[in-house]
């Protein structure tokens, strides 16, 4: 069942209507971020393959989540050896996962300051928060030679005057979450390690722009 079908049955009518409005109004944000990431990968992606994380030298010995699908991203950084690519994995969803790999921080930087401006005329909008949480991924992407990063993740939370919260996670594909917008309760239940504390970034909108001005300008220019 898709998120749209799930929320239609689980949310009160007013909250569901507002959630769907946010989905429509913010779709371009996710599309723009995917476009920006696709243009700034930094290497040529050759393909993907399933892997055991303990077979990857940079991951071996690290504590990694269990019961998760692990994939290697193969690219021109691997040298002359031909990688063992699985052509069945060469699909649009895997491409989204690869280009958003380790991009959550940059995505929040880029849009934390923009979201309040997009939503300022919305009577139900209250504020935006920037959260850092430990995640329960469905999949993890790895690259040869890349230092393993624990599954912490950053995303934006829209607070509404209806009392509900909406997650905007434009890098969610890297963990196999398959969408860009979720209710906070659903997102936390399915994807967040609930025994971990909330961490909020205490940036003002202006600081977020100033500290990442170059990437912000690039994204807006490409949009």
pLDDT digits (tens, 9 = 90+) for 29-44: 999 999 999 998 877 8
Percent of the chain predicted with pLDDT > 70? 78
The predicted-structure confidence for 150-168, as pLDDT tens digits, reads as follows 788 999 999 999 899 999 9
Quick one: tokens of 174?
Answer: 């890297």
Q: What total of structural domains would you count in the chain?
A: 1
Distance (Å, rounded) from C-alpha 26 to C-alpha 34?
A: 13
Distance (Å, rounded) from C-alpha 48 to C-alpha 71?
A: 7
pLDDT at 127 over 90: yes
The predicted-structure confidence for 85-113, as pLDDT tens digits, reads as follows 777 787 788 899 999 998 999 999 889 98
Enter the pTM of the model.
0.82
Cα dihedral sign, 154-155-158-163: negative
pLDDT for res 223: 47
pLDDT for res 126: 94
Average pLDDT over residues 201-209: 50
Cα dihedral sign, 32-33-34-36: positive
pLDDT for res 157: 95
Average pLDDT over residues 171-175: 95
Range of the domain at 194: 3-222
């Amino acid at each position: 069942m898709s998120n749209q079908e799930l929320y239609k049955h689980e949310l009160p009518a007013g909250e569901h209507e507002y959630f769907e409005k946010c989905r429509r109004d913010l779709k371009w944000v996710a599309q723009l971020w995917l476009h920006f990431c696709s243009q700034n990968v930094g290497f040529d992606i050759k393909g993907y393959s399933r892997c055991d994380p303990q077979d990857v030298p940079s991951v071996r010995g690290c504590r990694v989540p269990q019961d998760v699908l692990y994939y290697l991203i193969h690219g021109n950084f691997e040298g002359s050896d031909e990688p063992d690519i699985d052509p069945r994995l060469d699909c649009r969803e895997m491409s989204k996962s690869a280009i958003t790999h380790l991009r959550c921080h940059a995505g929040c930087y880029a849009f934390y300051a923009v979201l309040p401006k997009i939503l300022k005329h919305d009577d139900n909008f209250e504020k935006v928060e920037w959260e850092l949480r430990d995640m329960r991924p469905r999949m993890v992407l790895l690259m040869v030679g890349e230092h393993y990063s624990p599954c912490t993740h950053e995303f934006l939370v829209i607070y509404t005057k209806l009392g509900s919260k909406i997650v905007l996670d434009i890098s969610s594909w890297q963990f196999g979450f398959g969408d860009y917008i979720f209710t906070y309760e659903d997102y936390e239940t399915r994807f967040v390690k609930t025994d971990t504390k909330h961490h909020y970034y205490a940036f003002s909108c202006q600081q977020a722009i100033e500290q990442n001005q170059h990437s912000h300008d690039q994204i807006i220019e490409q949009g």
